[in-house]
Amino acid sequence: MMPRRVSILGATGSIGQNTIDLIRRDAGAYDVVALTGAGNIARLAADAIELRAEVAVTARPDLLEDLRAALKGSAVEVAAGPAALVEAASRPADWIMSAIVGAAGLAPGFAALDQGTTLALANKESLVCAGKILLDVARAKGTTILPVDSEHSAVFQALVGEDIGTVERIIITASGGAFRDWPIDNLAHATLDQASCHPNWDMGQRITIDSASMFNKAMEVIETREFFGIDPIQIEVLVHPQSMIHAMVGFRDGGLMAHVGPPDMRHAIGYALHHPNRAHLPVERLDFAAIGLLEFTAPDDARWPALRLAREVMAAGGMMGAVFNAAKEAALDGFIAGQINFVQMAQVVEDTIEQLDRGSGHIHATMTLDNVHKVDHLARKAAKASIEKRAG
């Protein structure tokens, strides 16, 4: 069999490294086209050499010469900057992993779909900001988008052979993150280190903090709506501290299909990599007798206002998803930089939503990549103003 041509956007990150781990185990089966990263030049260069990538791209033009130096003597091409990411994503490939963090993943993901490449989508921000655009281009080009978020992969798997019209509800689970059991009054004093520790999953820092604030789950609720096209009222969130059941799909006959697996992203990545087949994957096999107990509770809106905000965003429609994502990214930057506290992140997002909802018709303009960028820019500006007001 011919090797499959694969690219990995965000190769140096947590999802990217897990994807490389799977590819490395069967290296002869793949030709690696593009690997991309941003600041971690040493990792990017080492992987590009080992996997004989055609091209390595850093998102940061200021690091182009460092990347060139690290790849000197190899046959790997080098490039840098947002346009180079899009060019790399457009190179003919059979499968591409979209695992850049943040809205920066949107344009390269779009380019890959437009080129006809199957897109394994970890970058949930793309769907939240511009789900309609991605789904439209995938439909127009006959290209497949495969979810990589563990909850959406779980739903996708539970739906194999089913008619989406018979789905009554989709339940996605949340571990509750670092502060699930903290007294609410203490949340304003949570430190960056405390917010950056996840009880079950080993992930990048940003998504780990978003898990503690539930902004990650809020994004996933919107992602569920975009990806599976069901009504927001049909989407439920359950707190499940063990992170073993990732999602459940309830059908109109009362039956529920639950997807159970260890908290290891290599399952969802591997499912997308081998789809529609199932391959042997190096993940733990669960021993239910040893686990003993699986717990579930309803999420508390007072502890996690992000979930209420996600419902408001879906009700507003238009490009409010792009506002939500941009405000959340800016608020997270503000928290990481020590400008605002943990609780103020949700307040900044809420301020921004209110301001853009009130302010103009921007969010209800036609959804195009340009307009999404415009709205993203406006929302970041509004969020920064809200952060400064609180910081000052």
CB of 366 to ligand NDP, least distance (A): 25
User: Which amino acid type is present at position 269?
Assistant: I
Closest residue to bound ligand NDP by CB: 13
Region of 7-15, 135-143, 167-175, 227-235 interacting with ligand NDP (CB under 6 A): 7-15
Query: In sequence order, what are the residues at sequence separation of 6 or more whose Cβ sits closer than 8 angstroms to the Cβ of residue 19?
Result: 8, 11, 97, 99, 269, 273
Q: How many residues belong to the site for ligand NDP (CB under 6 A)?
A: 27
Kindly tell me which of 80 and 158 has the beta carbon lying closer to ligand NDP: 80
59 binds ligand NDP (CB under 6 A): yes
Residues within window 10-49 making contact with ligand NDP, judged by CB under 6 A: 10-16, 37-40
CB of 358 to ligand NDP, least distance (A): 29
Site string for ligand NDP, 77-116 (x = CB under 6 A): ----------------------xxx--x------------
Kindly tell me which of 235 and 269 has the beta carbon lying closer to ligand NDP: 269
211 binds ligand NDP (CB under 6 A): no
Kindly tell me which of 47 and 351 has the beta carbon lying closer to ligand NDP: 47
263 binds ligand NDP (CB under 6 A): no
CB of 207 to ligand NDP, least distance (A): 4
Binder to ligand NDP among 90, 117, 118, 123 (CB under 6 A)? 123
Region of 6-14, 27-35, 138-146, 328-336 interacting with ligand NDP (CB under 6 A): 6-14
Kindly tell me which of 46 and 365 has the beta carbon lying closer to ligand NDP: 46
Binder to ligand NDP among 265, 307, 367, 379 (CB under 6 A)? 265
Cβ atoms within 10 Å of 143's Cβ, excluding its own: 17
175 binds ligand NDP (CB under 6 A): no
Binder to ligand NDP among 5, 206, 217, 328 (CB under 6 A)? 206
Task: Catalog residues that contact ligand NDP under the rule CB under 6 A.
Answer: 10-16, 37-40, 59, 99-101, 104, 122-125, 149, 201, 203-204, 206-207, 265
